[in-house]
Structure 1
């Protein structure tokens, strides 16, 4: 077992990257979220998506590219770096990205991958932007522009947030998009994300987390909301908001947030989501603990919770393809994202 005390080492990063390289161009099985408007729309995944056709679904392929970019940026001399660069040279080209942009131009694709895939695409663009000078950043930029435009159109019209623990969670989408806004930097977009988060979540108090975990959660609706606010709210405001949002944290309450989820069947795609819940909780716990002062007693409680969640999930990243096609990205967030 790889214990939670393990850092995000070159060896571990290479292991994650090898998992991702094994499926980013594996076209089948595939779960398209594709709307058919005519017979001609019945096409294969690679015909629909010249870049992101692997990894079972579009969003998992996108965040697997993010993972590979992260590994390349953190460990440019890793033995896997050559294979990552070869993949990027072949896939992240202006012509293929133009095909992805064309897909989003279709009227039926207006809400495609909103907000989960949108957020991950912008996080990929942010990671490419943080990488040393590279041709792939400019190639992906037009698609990032499309997604920023989608967010900019959608957020002012979205009266309510979505608080589920799956792909439709709006706090997660905002949180990933915030990394892009900060990296570019794009102050106008950052302001939109901040204003939206404050409108949706700014008055939330005493979160009970009573619905967690649900049977197919891979996000904690409570913790990702807190991490979203951490990323976009003014620091002076966040401290008081966080105290009020989880007021009994010192006592280990709500207790459900501190207990790793049990995964009973990793061959079931929905139940396998719970490994992702454990990893995404660990990411949030570590990031939120880092926002507190060094002498805050909650830090130790939160970091211990993160360690328990990592230990519960990390040995199972490749137990079955239902988890293998996406979990390594969440493991990288948990170990290296705080």
Structure 2
């Protein structure tokens, strides 16, 4: 399964329709007093759309990625115009000031942090000022990750926004060419908390999860361990006990329910993780297993990326992650 121009246009049109749509909106906002009561567009002049801050951030990642991949499309021109209006110095200064509030220590931790770094990583691939203007905010969250991992004794091993491994996977890719200290911090922490894990028998999926706890951890460890060590570790985690052979796409009963619609994202994020890990495995039968499982999950979810706002405001990002990962 590849990303076609038709699919890219569908994703881009959906994201263009929501990154600047303020309502409905779900705020992650701690108020210290009456002065902090404000609408989303004032609190977050760049990322006030897409139902919530983090979805707006990765909606923008989707748009910039599609602009780069399909630069001659009508959508690319619309993306460029909106990005120039959005990523201004003044607007991003407000975003940074909000993130620096003492009351914002836990704001969007860690999911939104990881996506902001990933957005900056993509913005740097464009011949515009967007990356330079986003960099202070990215550097703020990079330091926040270091501070967080210094006190995070145990991983948050759930399939929702609080999942530690997923955010660290995004952050680590950003840091590889920008922040060797963050790479070392992530690798040391991940090795400590995940390297001795084996024989996974978790009860997946939870009813509102959009990430697989175990595959999110495995995707992070693919980057932390050598190829040989990863293949051995992954076999002991989910291959030897048959867990992966039994894995089936999640069934989504109500796509208009925001929490239940998370399961569509689970199918897409599983597909992304499985596709990304394929090259790290040595045995053809293991690669075939992962490839078949990834394709089944993609086939189950791709038709439903657009169509209802509760999924449409975020699912394209996860579909794009999976489609861009070449098996």
Report TM bin, short chain: over 0.9
Is 1:277 matched up with 2:266?
yes
Q: Is the 8 A contact 2:227 2:281 kept in 1?
A: no
State how 1:92-171 maps to structure 2 within 5 Å.
Answer: 92-129=87-124, 131-171=125-165
Give the aligned length. 326
User: Match of 2:51?
Assistant: 56
166, 180, 186: which is aligned to 1:187?
Answer: 180
Q: CA deviation at 1:202?
A: 1.1
State how 1:213-228 maps to structure 2 within 5 Å.
Answer: 213-228=205-220
- Residue deviations 1:282-317 (CA, integer Å, cap 9, x gap): 001111112223x52111111111111111111111
CA distance in structure 2 between the partners assigned to 1:307 and 1:235 by the alignment: 23
201, 210, 225: which is aligned to 1:208?
Answer: 201
Q: Is the 8 A contact 2:230 2:280 kept in 1?
A: no
Structure 1 gaps of 5+ residues are none
- Residue deviations 1:142-171 (CA, integer Å, cap 9, x gap): 100110111111111110100000000000
2:161 aligned counterpart, secondary structure: coil
State how 1:73-84 maps to structure 2 within 5 Å.
Answer: 73-84=68-79
With over 3 angstroms needed to count, the CA separation of the structure-2 counterparts of 1:298 and 1:236, relative to structure 1, is: closer
Q: CA deviation at 1:190?
A: 0.8
CA distance in structure 2 between the partners assigned to 1:188 and 1:235 by the alignment: 22
Is 1:325 matched up with 2:313?
yes
Q: CA deviation at 1:330?
A: 0.6
1:80 aligned counterpart, secondary structure: helix
- CA root-mean-square deviation: 1.4
TM-score (norm 2): 0.96
- Residue deviations 1:65-108 (CA, integer Å, cap 9, x gap): 01111111222222211011111100011111111000011111
1:212 aligned counterpart, secondary structure: coil
TM-score (norm 1): 0.93
2:199 aligned counterpart, secondary structure: coil
1:297 aligned counterpart, secondary structure: helix
Q: CA deviation at 1:334?
A: 1.2
User: Match of 1:22?
Assistant: 17
CA distance in structure 1 between the partners assigned to 2:253 and 2:33 by the alignment: 40
- Residue deviations 1:85-140 (CA, integer Å, cap 9, x gap): 111100011111111000011111001000000000011111112x1432111010
User: Match of 1:315?
Assistant: 303
After TM superposition, what 4+ stretches of structure 1 lie above 6 angstroms from structure 2? none
CA distance in structure 2 between the partners assigned to 1:215 and 1:207 by the alignment: 19
User: Match of 1:302?
Assistant: 290
User: Match of 1:40?
Assistant: 35
Structure 2 gaps of 5+ residues are none
Is 1:197 matched up with 2:186?
no
86, 94, 98: which is aligned to 1:91?
Answer: 86
1:246 aligned counterpart, secondary structure: helix
Q: CA deviation at 1:254?
A: 4.2
User: Match of 1:243?
Assistant: 235
163, 171, 187: which is aligned to 1:177?
Answer: 171
